[in-house]
Amino acid sequence: MSRLDSFLRRLIAQRDGIDWAAAAVAGVPGDVVDIGLGYGRTWDHLRARLPGRRIWAIDRRVDCHPDCRPPEADLLLGEAGPMLDRLAATGARMALAHYDLGFGDEAADVAEAAALSPRVAAVMTPGGIVVSAQPLTGLSPLPGPAGIPPGRYLFYRA
């Protein structure tokens, strides 16, 4: 499979997974957090799928298109760990979290996700769902929606 085909499959899995999770948390109270704002495409998709929910964004810096930039009050800039701690301190709890941090090095990405897992879990509301590009620990794995190959994207229940 070409890298382009792999990229497209990942994006389709990401979109379909977010759509599935958004429907699954319809009755779950709480906010949403996009951990790894990147170019803002996922944040924009979350905003379209979850109108009326506060959608937080965490990243080291802002590199997104101006149309996809979260409001300043919802943007937490810095390393993810301290930003998740800051979010937890606000008392906000997440019905849905999207985790998409990475360095492009699988071992480093997996290690960072494992280290951040307790902090992700700490901001989740019971019954909330985490949609993740990396394996997380301490959350209950879910099978996710039909059509997404196992391991392509990962799903957890808080």
What's the half-sphere exposure (Cβ side, CA atoms, 13 Å) at 91?
0
**DSSP codes of every residue in 80-146:** HHHHHHHHHHHT--EEEEEE----S-HHHHHHHHHHHHHHHHHHEEEEEEEEESS--SSSEEE--ST
Domains with residue ranges and CATH for the chain: 3-157 (3.40.50.150)
Give the model's confidence band at 1: pLDDT under 50 very low, under 70 low, under 90 confident, else very high.
confident
Give the model's confidence band at 143: pLDDT under 50 very low, under 70 low, under 90 confident, else very high.
very high
Query: Which residues have C-beta within 8 Å of that of residue 158, sequence separation ≥ 6?
Result: 94, 121, 124, 125, 126, 127, 128, 129, 130, 139, 140
Q: What is the pLDDT of residue 69?
A: 95
pLDDT in tens, 110-133: 999 999 999 999 999 999 999 999
